[in-house]
Amino acid sequence: METKIYEPTSENIKKIAELIKNDELVAFPTETVYGLGANALSTKAVEKIFEVKNRPADNPLIVHVCSPLQIMRVAMEFPEKARLLADHFMPGPLTIVLEKKPILSDLVTGGLNTVGVRMPDHPVALEFINACNLPVCAPSANLSTRPSPTIARHVFDDMNGRIPAILDGGQCDFGIESTIVDVTGKVPVVLRKGAISIEELRAVVGEVKEATGEIHAPGNRYKHYAPKAEVLLSAYYDEMHVSICEKYDELVAACKKPVILCLNYRAEMYGDREIMEVGKDYAEYAHNLFAFLRYADERGYDTVIAEGVKNEGIGESLINRLIKSSGGQVI
């Protein structure tokens, strides 16, 4: 199958929406990362997502809508806290988990009786979903275990020959996935940290719990966001550059080819060691992380040493992604 990349003209969007109606898969941009879309109401189409991505069947898919009203097509009820969150963060990088309607197959929800829904804050995504006139389920458009794609070329690298079309919407704003909040209980529970921080959620709905133990997004169980290179995460502390340099030198002595991911203003602490500057602050670090992990592979580095960050604000979500990418290897 030939995979074509399309400019997001209205004509192309209409054409590509027809593919969705015909049970094909289409990658499209959102403000977080690129999604791999399918008709959420078609078993045949949803099966293709799992096949193409190599995704475990018990990992549910987020259903994307183009208006809060559409949520009622797939969810049984819309409790007060969900409404509050929707009023504030939709469209936006928030997924809310609600009790599902029977119209959705177990395939979409991984056998759960809930569904995650989200309305992306991206003009191309909204126009595309609107043209489909269907709920569109979409995981991130990477192969399972790989870093999520934040530009169309990343999608092409993973999906070439597997899907017919990619809508090119340029670079994603956030570069990190949506925050997932379960609102089926009395107190909202964050199942996956993401582009919206817990503090921002609390400012809107008051008490918000963090998932503990077994209660998590099912996807949290699996290996994730991993480039080919090995990723080592540094613990965060003032002098972390010292141990990062030691590790780097040790690797070079062992004939490895490491690179350090660091904030721009810290670059000079690493002397003439190979570095990649990920941005001026945590938001930019989060925005660029997945792209740099892929870039490190392209440039032939075999080890990425990533600077740690403070566990606050967007730093919390960033740590989550860094720990996953590194498979928990902390130095």
Interacting residue ranges for ligand TXA, rule: CB under 6 A:
30, 32-33, 35, 59-62, 93, 95, 97, 109, 112, 114-116, 118, 138-140, 177-178, 180, 191-192, 217-220
* Closest distance to ligand TXA from the beta carbon of 116 (Å): 3
* Closest distance to ligand TXA from the beta carbon of 217 (Å): 4
101 neighbors 171 (Cβ within 8 angstroms): no
**Among Mg ion, ligand TXA, none, what does residue 217 contact (CB within 5–8 Å per kind)?**
ligand TXA
Q: Which residue is nearest to Mg ion (CB)?
A: 140
> For residues 224 and 244, what is the distance between their CA atoms, to the nearest angstrom?
23
Site for Mg ion in 32-91 (CB under 5 A): none
Pick the closer one to Mg ion by CB: 13 or 107. Answer: 107
**Among ligand TXA, Mg ion, none, what does residue 230 contact (CB within 5–8 Å per kind)?**
none
Per the structure block, which two tokens stand in for 27? 């990658």
Site for Mg ion in 133-172 (CB under 5 A): 140
Pick the closer one to Mg ion by CB: 68 or 218. Answer: 218
Pick the closer one to ligand TXA by CB: 32 or 288. Answer: 32
Phi-psi category of residue 145: left, alpha or beta, with phi > 0 → left and psi -120 to 50 → alpha? left
Pick the closer one to Mg ion by CB: 109 or 140. Answer: 140
Pick the closer one to ligand TXA by CB: 93 or 258. Answer: 93
Is the bond preceding residue 91 a cis peptide, omega within 30 degrees?
Answer: yes
**Count of CB atoms within 10 A of residue 142's CB?**
25
**Among ligand TXA, Mg ion, none, what does residue 32 contact (CB within 5–8 Å per kind)?**
ligand TXA
* Closest distance to ligand TXA from the beta carbon of 60 (Å): 4
Q: Cβ neighbours of residue 26 under 8 Å, at least 6 residues apart?
A: 16, 19, 20, 36, 37, 38, 128, 163, 164, 165, 166, 167
* Closest distance to Mg ion from the beta carbon of 115 (Å): 17
> For residues 326 and 118, what is the distance between their CA atoms, to the nearest angstrom?
28
Per the structure block, which two tokens stand in for 214? 């077994």
**Among Mg ion, ligand TXA, none, what does residue 138 contact (CB within 5–8 Å per kind)?**
ligand TXA
Q: Residue 3, class by beta-carbon neighbours within 10 Å (0-12 exposed, 13-18 middle, 19+ buried)?
A: middle
Q: Residue 212, class by beta-carbon neighbours within 10 Å (0-12 exposed, 13-18 middle, 19+ buried)?
A: exposed
> For residues 67 and 126, what is the distance between their CA atoms, to the nearest angstrom?
8
**Among Mg ion, ligand TXA, none, what does residue 60 contact (CB within 5–8 Å per kind)?**
ligand TXA
Q: Return residues touching Mg ion (CB under 5 A).
A: 140
